[in-house]
Amino acid sequence: MTISKEEASEIIKEYPALAAAVQTINENHPGGFISLVDYTATSGRTSPETSSYVINGNVIYANVLRRSIEMAREITAERLAMDTAEVNMRRDPEKAMKVRLEVNGTFPYADAALSEEIMSMERRLAKIEDGEAPDETHYELMGAGCKRHRDSDTLHIQGLLVTKRISIHGVYKQVNSNPKTLCKKELKRQLPIGKWRQFRLGTDNFDHVAVAGQTIRKGA
């Protein structure tokens, strides 16, 4: 979708400089790579984490779901159980052993995780195909990796994670995940959907965004 500079300038009132950048992405930057520098995240943490990211914004979320569903269907419960156990053996050996325990020829935690995650992705994909997804109702898609929330008029960057560099480490909240949840986390780690990221740009939670040779600084 290509928008005019006049439309973009009207849409993103908080970030006037971004109007031209979004237009440039649409016209001259089909790769859609976006650099988000010194973004501060607080969700799920007891202290903030500041990181810089490279995001491939020229990716359609529905296609990420489709590919993830295809890949998940090819993963066996045994393979997921063994992978999950290996990742968690040092951190929580008791749960790791539960995950890899075979019961009546199957691995119940991994099997349940696969079934539930595939069903969840299928439901999300169906909503998109039926025009009921949040992106259709709450957001205005503006170009590769850029969308505007209709109510708050804030800009969001989204796409597949390419790189992440942490400059200030945050402290994550302690989570006591059960064996099935550990399997779900490992499954997502192996799928494209596990690399999908979305960032809400406020007036003070990032330093700058670089897109198509242009730099947009916070408060610009």
User: Tokens standing for 56?
Assistant: 């491939």
Q: Which of 51-55, 115-119, 196-200, 203-207 has the highest mean pLDDT?
A: 115-119
**Which of 3-17, 78-92, 149-163, 182-196 is the least confident region?**
3-17
DSSP string for residues in 126-191: HHHHTT-SHHHHTEEEEETTEEEETTT--EEEEEEEEEEEEEE--EEPP----HHHHHHHHHHHHS
- CA angle, 67 then 71 then 77, to 5°: 150
Go through 163-192 and write b for each residue having 16 or more CB atoms within 10 A of its CB, e for each that does not. Answer: eeeeeeebeeeeeeeebbebbbbbbbeebb
Give yes or no for residue 213 having a pLDDT over 50.
yes
219 falls in which pLDDT band (50, 70, 90)? low
Give dist(CA 35, CA 163) in Å, integer.
Answer: 9
| Alpha carbon 44 to its chain's center | 15
Write down the pLDDT at residue 4.
Answer: 41
Amino acid symbol at 125: L
Percent of the chain with pLDDT over 70: 80
Give dist(CA 81, CA 184) in Å, integer.
Answer: 10
Write down the pLDDT at residue 138.
Answer: 78
**Which of 14-28, 31-45, 73-87, 165-179 is the least confident region?**
14-28
The full length of the chain comes to 220
Average pLDDT of the residues in 86-104: 92
**What are the residues whose beta carbons fall under 8 Å from the beta carbon of 27, sequence distance 6 or more?**
2
Average pLDDT of the residues in 151-157: 82
Mean pLDDT of all residues in the chain? 83
Provide the residue ranges of all domains of the chain, joining segments of one domain with +.
5-217
Closest C-alpha among 100, 103, 84 to residue 177: 84
Cβ-contact 13, 155 below 8 angstroms: no
28 falls in which pLDDT band (50, 70, 90)? very low
Cβ-contact 160, 20 below 8 angstroms: no
Q: Which helix or strand (DSSP H or E) is residue 25 part of? A: helix 16-28
Cβ-contact 101, 175 below 8 angstroms: no
